[in-house]
Amino acid sequence: MYFVDRSVAVIKPKEPFLQWLNSVPGNDMDLSLDSLRTDCTVILLPEFTDPEEGINHVDEMYEQLFKMELASWYEDESLWPKDLSLKAFWEWFDVEIHATVIDSVEGDITNMPAHEL
């Protein structure tokens, strides 16, 4: 195991995200907020010592994160909410910043653009 020169942000949906999912026409999923917050997106960030630096970095890329989270459920942008502002992002998501990242896997990390997943 070894330390990685990165920090992480965990993006956790909040109630407005669940309300949006439940309002999408034809949605027949039975989701709870707990289920949405169980397996969340984790983003590698530059290494920070102050969590506020991590929040500032998330602020700089919030629109990309917001769209990525919406597209993970519905790619049709006409179904997305109209307000994709920074204020809306923070109303829709909690973000946890963690400074310590340890890689427990031998071998190199493979890089792949998020849109190819």
**pLDDT by residue (tens digit) across 58-111?**
999 999 999 999 999 999 999 999 999 999 999 999 999 999 888 888 887 777
| Across 14-35, average pLDDT | 91
pLDDT 10s digits, 37-62 = 999 999 999 999 888 999 999 999 99
- Over 60: is that where the pLDDT of 116 sits? no
Contact between 12 and 93 (Cβ < 8 Å): yes
- Over 80: is that where the pLDDT of 21 sits? yes
- pLDDT for 25: 87
Token digits for 28?
Answer: 């027949």
